[in-house]
Amino acid sequence: MRVMKYRVSSYLIDTPLKASEGKLHFFIHGYTGAIDIVDAKVADALHNLRVFEKTDVGFSEKTFDLMVKRGYITDKTAVQERELTGRLAGLLHKDAKRHAKSFVFMVTYDCNFRCPYCYEAGISGNGRHWTKRTFTKELVDRAYQAMSEIAPDNEKKNSIITLYGGEPFLKENVDIVTYIVKKGQELGYVFDAITNGHDLDCYTEVLSSGAMRHVQITLDGMKDMHDSRRFHYQTHKSFDKILSNIKLALDNGIMVGVRFNADANNFGEIKKLQDIFAETGFSDSKLFSFNTAMLSKENSDTKDTDIDYFSREKFNQMYAESGLTVPHQDYGVYDKVITALKNKTCIRFRSIFCGVQSGSYILDPYGDIYTCWDTVGKPEYVLGRYAPAVEFNDRVANWQGRNIANTPKCSCCKYALLCGGGCMAKALKYGGNFNASYCDGYDDIVNFAVNKAYNNAVKDKIFMI
């Protein structure tokens, strides 16, 4: 009789739970989606095994059978596991492409701020005249028509258009932005915007129209810190005006998400901003949210020395030690884990990092189409044109054809279906081709998010330990 041979799955994600003082581990399986809290003795026993038989393990038959059922122990080879993951990735990508296409209007490349870490700073090399180009009414009309040509089925078209720049809400562009919003509203669209928030008070008609759904605004700390980093090119300040305009947006029933760009210099300002938001009453509003993101040197087109960039590991360490409760950028890992714990379900997977790989289109004031806002204004990343007519080049297939299955480094990574292969723009920038990956310290992200989810689940009595 043939004796079954087993091995520990290549896709076992094992996270020690710090709050358990070494007694418990959190298991996630990277293609079955199983999650389990496991005794440290079982975890240690697994890590000491290579190829083994059922009788070789140091735990019960019942535990062994459960480990097999969940995928942590397998009779598949590493190659078979990789092939299975690849097939699953293909199905997930196919499903993602069936979802609604998203559209962004790049109103202008111009901006009234001079942020030292701006990832669009390189665009200024095109010249001041070039960045001043703004949508015209004719181009707006053409953009809406192009949207219907790119996604003729209304069900395949997102009803939310994002306004972007540069700075989409420059005071000198009130007329064209009002035209964009009015026409979009007539066509059944609502709008989000990524804005610095400085000139929002010039847009009272737009804000009160009912067409604006959400604005993202960045604050990098209290007044002195923020104004030293995110300042208006004329007044060299912006904090007070932004705070006032956040209130204006909330008063008009618009959701406001405040983003904090963190480095080692301003990390201590997060708690101070929390206090300000509590004092102003912003935190009491269901329309208001606050989150932080780590500033990455790799995102910046500048060589500013006033930004003290830190690693993902250091960022997560400081966050854990600070006791901060503000959500921070983890690419959705915490939400996936806590949701699975609450609902007693498997982890949700993805085979792509974001919508650029399934159908995201940025329409700029030159009639060009991009897919990722990290790449706008750079000719080598143009996907095609929408004016005078819609036409795409072969880059579309590269962007929308990539998933973790055709990214060699990702296809054998246990995090692949959680991560989605990392940011494509950064993979291209640092890897040089569409088959490159971009990891961004994902092991640290998962470690932090899993421990946070476990701690909150215990605190909220989602399960008892």
Given a cut of 60, is residue 230 above it in pLDDT?
yes
156 and 67 co-located in one domain: no
Return the pLDDT at 125.
Answer: 63
Burial 255-265 (b: 16+ CB within 10 A, else e): bbbbbbbbbeb
115 and 67 co-located in one domain: no
Return the pLDDT at 298.
Answer: 60
CB 448 within 8 A of CB 19: no
Return the closest-CA partner of residue 31 out of 455, 350, 452, 396: 350
State the average pLDDT for the chain.
93
66 and 130 co-located in one domain: no
Given a cut of 90, is residue 210 above it in pLDDT?
yes
Among 7-16, 313-322, 384-393, the range scoring the smallest mean pLDDT is: 313-322
Edge-first strand listing for the sheet containing 212-218: 288-294, 255-262, 212-218, 190-194, 157-164, 101-106, 360-363, 368-370, 384-385, 391-392
- Inside any domain, residue 363: no
- Inside any domain, residue 391: no
128 and 64 co-located in one domain: no
State how far the Cα of 302 lies from the Cα of 30, in Å rounded to an integer.
37
Return the pLDDT at 154.
Answer: 73
291 alpha carbon, distance to own chain's centre = 12
The dihedral region occupied by 68, where left means phi > 0, alpha psi between -120 and 50, and beta the remainder, is alpha
28 and 143 co-located in one domain: no
Given a cut of 90, is residue 462 above it in pLDDT?
no
Return the pLDDT at 380.
Answer: 94
- Inside any domain, residue 344: no
* pLDDT mean over 19-45: 96
Of 28, 54, 76, which residue constitutes the final position of a domain?
76
**Which pLDDT tens digit goes with each residue over 388-403?**
999 999 999 999 999 9
228 and 270 co-located in one domain: yes
Given a cut of 70, is residue 276 above it in pLDDT?
yes
* pLDDT mean over 32-36: 98
The percent of residues in the chain predicted with pLDDT above 70, rounded, is 95
Which CATH number is 186's domain given?
3.20.20.70
Given a cut of 70, is residue 457 above it in pLDDT?
yes
Q: Which two tokens stand for residue 441?
A: 């310290």
Given a cut of 80, is residue 3 above it in pLDDT?
no
Return the pLDDT at 277.
Answer: 98
**Which pLDDT tens digit goes with each residue over 63-100?**
999 999 999 999 999 999 999 999 999 999 999 999 88
Q: Which two tokens stand for residue 436?
A: 């490159």
Among 11-25, 28-42, 266-280, 432-446, the range scoring the smallest mean pLDDT is: 432-446
Q: Is the dihedral of CA 353, 358, 359, 365 positive or negative?
A: positive
* pLDDT mean over 3-25: 95
Among 33-42, 119-128, 186-195, 334-343, the range scoring the smallest mean pLDDT is: 119-128
CB 107 within 8 A of CB 166: yes
14 and 113 co-located in one domain: no
Return the pLDDT at 464.
Answer: 57
* pLDDT mean over 126-146: 91
154 and 51 co-located in one domain: no
320: containing domain = 107-329
Among 79-93, 151-165, 182-196, 343-357, the range scoring the smallest mean pLDDT is: 151-165
Return the pLDDT at 299.
Answer: 54
Given a cut of 90, is residue 461 above it in pLDDT?
no
CB 7 within 8 A of CB 50: yes
- Inside any domain, residue 153: yes
What is the total count of domains within the chain?
2
Given a cut of 60, is residue 414 above it in pLDDT?
yes
Of 76, 98, 129, which residue constitutes the final position of a domain?
76
284 and 230 co-located in one domain: yes
State how far the Cα of 427 lies from the Cα of 135, in Å rounded to an integer.
30
Q: pLDDT-based confidence at 264, cuts 50/70/90? A: very high
205 and 254 co-located in one domain: yes
Among 143-152, 291-300, 365-374, the range scoring the smallest mean pLDDT is: 291-300
* pLDDT mean over 334-342: 97
Return the pLDDT at 71.
Answer: 98
118 and 48 co-located in one domain: no
- Inside any domain, residue 241: yes
Of 33, 61, 76, which residue constitutes the final position of a domain?
76
121 and 27 co-located in one domain: no
Q: Which two tokens stand for residue 203?
A: 């847009």
CB 120 within 8 A of CB 169: no
For residue 215, the cross-strand partners are: 193, 256
- Inside any domain, residue 12: yes
- Inside any domain, residue 120: yes
Q: pLDDT-based confidence at 429, cuts 50/70/90? A: confident
Return the pLDDT at 76.
Answer: 97
Given a cut of 60, is residue 101 above it in pLDDT?
yes
- Inside any domain, residue 96: no
Q: Which two tokens stand for residue 18?
A: 């710090």
Helix axes 174-186, 137-150, angle to 10 degrees: 40
Q: pLDDT-based confidence at 304, cuts 50/70/90? A: low
* pLDDT mean over 261-288: 97
Return the pLDDT at 288.
Answer: 99
Which residue has better confidence, 302 or 171?
A: 171
Place of tokens 């143009």: 382
CB 414 within 8 A of CB 347: no
